[in-house]
Amino acid sequence: MRRSPVWHPFTQHALEPAMNRIVRTEGAYLFDDQGNAVLDAISSWWVITHGHRHPLIMEAIRQSCESFDQIIFAEYTHEPAEELAKGLIAVAPAGLDHVFYSDSGSTSIEVALKMALGFFHNWGVPRSRIVVMEYGYHGDTIGTMSAGERGVFNMAYEPMLFDVDRLPFPEPGREQDTLDAFEAFCRGGQVAALLIEPLVLGAGGMLMYPASLLAELKAIAARHGSLMIADEVMTGWGRTGTLFACEQADITPDILCTSKGLTGGSLPLAATLCSAEIFDAHLSTDRSRTFFHSSSYTANPIACAAALANLDVWKTEPVIDRIRSLGAMHGARLMRFRADGRFSNVRQTGTIVALVVNVPATGYLSDAGPKLRGFFKERHLLIRPLGNVIYLMTPYCVTADDLDRIYDAIDEAADIIIQGGVP
């Protein structure tokens, strides 16, 4: 059979079986060309919030196509982008007053880093250090890889990555070490910004920390005149139980990045929200102070229309109630794993749950990862463990029966890989 010319992301083509070909999506399910319904337990890389092809969002996209395709976003603007900016400012933590559009999570972070450095540069303040948290993930561009955890993923590109300062992850009982490390970096007077995933570090292993720590980090940053960039690319749009995770710490970051669930997961779009101070630092009759960033598809009108419809869904449907009951359904089902010796570090923040399967080999390249993934795939469950860490991040429309199926499969899978002697 002729090989497909397609090169898939995060895929070792020498090891992976043939791709499932998906022909349709609906709700929590992907339908393949063999007639199988695959339960999407990770929301297609965390983008789908309400469910695949939410009718309101699909209708907004259809209607928008009657008037728009792409429009240059310098010199020209359009209603979907204008309305969406107002809508985002209304629902985001108070004090974020400007919206810069881009097209992916990674670019929203690149934009944030450039805003932070531009802010100090334009005021003539020599600050350019970026502080991040151990195990963080912010994307796969050179800038975001630089800020993310180093490892097998970015080893080959190391010569191109810039240096950042790293805080230890706040393990339970060791939170003060994280705060002390941040305080020490800030005292050096060079810190432009702390870039952080609020409450849950996603690709680094679904590691969770308390909102109080986030609030304390924000207070330290503010005391030293450093900015806080909240990477809400994964945590935004209800994942952690509130619309944005920052709400739980009762903080407003100086810059907030959002993508993924911004359009309900239907189309690529990102937004970087910032305070008036950051916008104003770039506002000048001196053209050298311009914010020099653009990408061709900035503020695609159809994607903006999809995001506006997503805001409507949040306004007109009981999304927060749905999230609350989904969180409770997970909580009830996780109970049996908390006392089960085959698992450890069973954890949950809102609709995100994760648990470690106790096998000797840990880390992303643990053989447990592909074995578990293969097991779930045979059962038509889309679950992609991070090494021996199984996590779930379903669309909000999953049913109790869907969850029972998932948790029963996790129970069975652990036996198979532990007894199968995964090293």
Residues in touch with ligand PMP (CB under 6 A):
104-106, 109, 137-139, 197, 202-203, 231, 233-234, 259
> Taking a C-beta distance cutoff of 8 angstroms, is the pair 276, 97 a contact?
yes
CB 257 within 8 A of CB 105: yes
Give min distance, CB of 243 to ligand PMP, in A. Answer: 16
* Cβ within 8 Å of residue 396, ≥6 positions away: 49, 50, 51, 238, 319, 322, 323, 326, 351
Phi, psi of 240, deg, nearest 5: -95, 5
Partner residues linked to 336 by β-bridges: none
Which of 247, 211, 249 has the alpha carbon at shortest distance from 94? 247
**Tokens, residue 37:** 């319904």
CB 268 to ligand PMP: min, Å: 7
The nearer residue to ligand PMP, 84 or 409, going by C-beta atoms, is 84
Point out the residue whose Cβ comes nearest to ligand PMP.
Answer: 105
CB-wise, 202 or 241, nearer to ligand PMP?
Answer: 202
Which positions ≥6 away from 82 have C-beta within 8 Å?
none
**Would you say 135 or 376 has its CB closer to ligand PMP?**
135
Select 228 or 422, whichever has its Cβ closest to ligand PMP: 228
Minimum Å distance from CB 140 to ligand PMP?
7
Report the C-alpha gap between 156 and 387 in whole angstroms: 20
Cβ closest to ligand PMP, residue 122 vs residue 139? 139
Indicate the angle between helix axes 400-419 and 368-378, nearest 10 degrees.
130
* CB of residue 401 to ligand PMP, shortest distance in Å: 28
Q: How far apart are CA 48 and CA 260, in angstroms?
A: 7
Tell me how far, at minimum, the Cβ of 400 lies from ligand PMP, in Å: 27
- CB nearer ligand PMP, residue 229 or residue 417: 229
State the nearest-atom distance from the C-beta of 184 to ligand PMP, in Å: 25
Rounded least distance, CB 234 to ligand PMP, Å: 4
Structure-token pair, residue 168: 């230890």
Nearer Cβ to ligand PMP, position 31 or 364? 364
